[in-house]
Chains A and B, each alone.
Chain A
Amino acid sequence: MFPRVSAIIPLRLLSPFPLCPGGSEAPAAAIVRLGAPHGTVRTKNEVHRYFGTNNVICNKKDEQSAPTRDMSKETETQESVKENTKKDLLGIIKGMRVELSTAKVQTTRPPNRRQLKSIEATTGRLHKVPEDAPKKRTKSLGPELVAAAAAVADVLPFDKQMTKSELLRQLQQHEEVSKAQKDGERAKISVSNIISDMKIAKSSTARVSTRPVHQIQFDEGSNDYVGQKKTNDLKKSLRKNILKGKRLNIFDLKAVTEEAPETETAPSLWDVEFAKQLAEVNEQPLQNGFEEMIQWTKEGKLWEFPINNEAGPTSISAHSIKRLPNL
């Protein structure tokens, strides 16, 4: 929570921000209602919410709103920002990041009567961004990703076209990022810095797109996991695969698996102590009486079950007793 607080503090400059007049009634009412019932402890959250919706309203009105003003210091780390629209978009994405982190404060504690408001807020944001999406399609996405994005868009009850384009745009960014990371060349340090900046924006937006899914499912009381699974599939295909990629190429599989004739030496002190350490890793206190009995049986304190009458040497020699066959 605290990194978000530090991100919010620059926004405190905006506090004497007038409510944009003529804004839609619902958000204004939302602000009022949000402000009212909180006690002293909740001031921080309340202020965050206040700024969250506040930014929504003002962004609806003007493009060059305060968020871009504060995020200007981040724009200087971006590369290839040639077109003005791109700059605006990135600025708004940065602004979105800050808002979305405030939205996270909202959405992680969704009270019953406020869920609708937060959904409206996120709707507003999602709608806002595709308005000025640049045509930056440098690489193409795989068809299954597109299909998955379409499926997700179908599930969310927002405007399907916009969410689909929004998701596709995020996928694009993610593809760029994952490909850049897959190459893994350290020479491109500047690029990776910038891309990591972009990744920040992307990852938080990706997270927002799953939050409303959660909320909506709870709201509608439907146990529809399809939407959730689709986002999981998206996640899976987008992750940098831990198994694929370069390896050290030092050891050869054949050379390693051939069985060298190993001389049988008695385990040295190192081996014995290592085995003892390993056994300690798995040690947990006994969970029930049976486990205690198992422990005792292994130590030899308890007779084996089923009872074996011939176990162990007895004082009476075996030959001197006539025995019946054991039933």
Chain B
Amino acid sequence: MAAVASGLYVGVRCRLCLTLTGQWTGLCGKAPSRFYSGSATLPKIEGANVTGIEEVVIPKKKTWDKVAVLQALASTVNRDSTAAPYAFQDDPYLIPTSSVESRSFLLAKKSGENAAKFIINSHPKYFQKDTAEPHIPCLMPEYFEPQIEGISEAALKERIKLKKVRASVDMFDQLLQAGTTVSLETSNSLLDLLCYYGDQEPSADNHFQQSEKSEELEEAIEENNEKSKKAGHQFGVTWRAKNNAERIFALMPEKNSHSYCTMIRGMVKHRALVQALNLYTELLNNRLHADVYTFNALIEATALSMNEKLEDKWNKILELLKEMAAQKVKPNLQTFNTILKCLRRFYSFGRLPALQTFREMKAIGIEPSLATYHYIIQLFYQHENPSKGSSLIIYDIMNELKGKKFSPKDPDDDMFFQSAMRVCSVLRDLELAYQVHGLLNTGDNWKFIGPDHRRNFYYSKFFSLLCLMEQIDVTLKWYKDLIPSVFFPRSQTLIDLLQALDVANRLEVIPEIWKDSKEYGHGFRDALKEEILMLMARDRHPPELQVAFADCAADIRSTYESQDARQTAPDWPANALNYIAVLFLRGGRIQEA
């Protein structure tokens, strides 16, 4: 077992070395021009002397950070639209052909890494050999068990650091029983831990699992379009009355504002809204000040409380803001984003307050993030009904955003592009869609496209809009560019493309599209096949085209047959039979007809 484990470890290391050398030779082989451009930048980076005409001005030697060269090289590489994304292995069997496959391949890769890490961390004593010079800390096993035994404050601190909720609560209780007082700071950090995780253990800190769960939850949430999402794996953890946090809070001999604040934040996070508001009044009674995060939490609590009218809620939020100004607490971006997020639930009542909030934010000088615009868009375009007095605010927003580069400031930043593209497709405005896409491609904004399903949604909407409204040549160019390297089309997207081809009278492209559809796993979608057959069979075409169409029809027929072999009740749609027969006749393949 030890040998195997160490073999695994060494294998991992060797793979790293090999890939390093492999990358470099591959680079030299594939793209010599790029390599030269990289090396051409090297002398400049070394800070060479610049000889002026009259005098020699020696500039200060620039210090570059350690990734500068690599970043310069990376910026020269553009996306290759004929290749699969880099994250996949470049092997014909390992290149995904549908979105389901791409997701499972990525999951497989990540789970392999996680499995390796898990093994290393659960048996650290087998992985102590360290031959890397200099030492690579992240490859060494991590320690998750508390080392300090015995009852002491240091032990408590360690357990808090390791995020062991139960163990730290036990330790705290033991300390109290032993009579030693716990310092305010430590108890505050214990309260933090309890409030953040809602008195439960944090889920096994497995990043990919977390993001997967939060993705599923996101989909459910987006369908419902109701609740705000926070730390997906905590969704559904409710604040039990008299749980450990409250108990410890009551036990603490002295409480400062931090204690109150963290309790309030924890309560709001776990949806104990009334208690949070009550605690806030207690805080005020004790003449303590809340910080900006607490105010954010309180605003959310006010907005989510169930039993009041919208106007009352809005007035209460305004009062909170005024208290904030009175206590000289500076609002931050999260304050305004929280307000806008809660205004979404107010439907059309929230439009005017939202604009007022937005202007306030700009007036104070807080730069809005993408999430701000996302909330505004959602508020104004909530229902998919385009003719109901659709607001024109999206144009204003796009004018504002032209050419700006963003950095992540709010966890909801990555939802902007999806909602913007949804609005474009609802409004059927291709210009606007191009603007949105241009914004996506400025600087590093492409990173805000979000996880897989959001990216797919964005591109499917974009492409459908292109099929609908753009000239067919441009559409075909986009088709070659985007598919399959950026996203895999759904069958509806392909049907849209076929209709666009039909409209533009370019039916000769159909056999290619059929081949592509088979590749992407749509070979068994009846709607798609019927559409293709119908388009081919509708008119008479020049003879070469007929032959191509007849081949295509034979292909489709074979897919029907193989499908029938699997199902018990063979059921060829009547239309399809018609079309196939007609096409065969025209193609001169009378036998098969």
The count of residues in chain A whose C-beta lies closer than 8 Å to any C-beta of chain B is: 79
> Quick check: is A302 within 8 A (CB to CB) of the other chain?
yes
Instruction: Kindly provide the distance from the CB of A116 to the nearest chain B CB, expressed in whole angstroms.
Output: 15
Question: Can you report 10 residue pairs joining A to B where beta carbons are below 8 Å apart?
Answer: A37-B539, A101-B387, A199-B389, A247-B356, A255-B328, A269-B189, A270-B196, A281-B413, A304-B67, A305-B70
Bound complex: CA of A184 vs CA of B356, how far in Å?
11
Residues in chain A near residue B363, CB distance under 8 A:
247, 251, 253
A286-311: CB near B (< 8 Å → 1, else 0) gives: 11111111101111111011100001
A227-263: CB near B (< 8 Å → 1, else 0) gives: 0000010011011111101111111110111001000
Residue of B nearest to A265 (CB): B258
| A269 and B193 contact, CB distance less than 8 A | yes
A1-17: CB near B (< 8 Å → 1, else 0) gives: 00100000000000000
Residues in chain B near residue A203, CB distance under 8 A:
389-390
| A250 and B360 contact, CB distance less than 8 A | yes
> Quick check: is B300 within 8 A (CB to CB) of the other chain?
no
Instruction: Kindly provide the distance from the CB of A291 to the nearest chain B CB, expressed in whole angstroms.
Output: 5
| A196 and B138 contact, CB distance less than 8 A | no
Interface of B is mostly: helix
Bound complex: CA of A315 vs CA of B448, how far in Å?
44
Residues in chain B near residue A109, CB distance under 8 A:
468, 499, 503
Residue of A nearest to B389 (CB): A196
Residues in chain A near residue B544, CB distance under 8 A:
none
| A288 and B77 contact, CB distance less than 8 A | yes
| A282 and B448 contact, CB distance less than 8 A | yes
Partner of A245, one of B79, B231, B359, B447: B359
Residue of B nearest to A299 (CB): B138
Bound complex: CA of A314 vs CA of B70, how far in Å?
25
Binds A, one of B111-119, B169-177, B219-227, B391-399: B391-399
> Quick check: is B204 within 8 A (CB to CB) of the other chain?
no
Report which B residues bind A (CB closer than 8 A): 16, 20, 23, 26-27, 42, 66-67, 69-71, 73-74, 77, 79, 85-87, 106, 133-139, 189, 192-193, 196, 211, 231, 258, 262, 265, 293, 318, 321-322, 325, 328, 330-331, 352, 355-360, 362-365, 385-390, 392-393, 395-397, 399-400, 407-414, 428, 431, 444, 446-449, 468-469, 471, 499, 503-505, 531, 534, 538-539
Bound complex: CA of A249 vs CA of B453, how far in Å?
40
Bound complex: CA of A288 vs CA of B411, how far in Å?
25
Bound complex: CA of A240 vs CA of B69, how far in Å?
47
| B359 and A268 contact, CB distance less than 8 A | no
Residue of B nearest to A109 (CB): B503
Residues in chain A near residue B69, CB distance under 8 A:
305-306
Residues in chain B near residue A305, CB distance under 8 A:
66, 69-70
| B265 and A270 contact, CB distance less than 8 A | yes
A166-207 interface with B by 8 A CB criterion: 184, 186, 196, 199-200, 203-204
Residue of A nearest to B468 (CB): A108
| B505 and A269 contact, CB distance less than 8 A | no
Known contacts A111-B504, A251-B331, A282-B408, A313 near B87 by CB under 8 Å: no
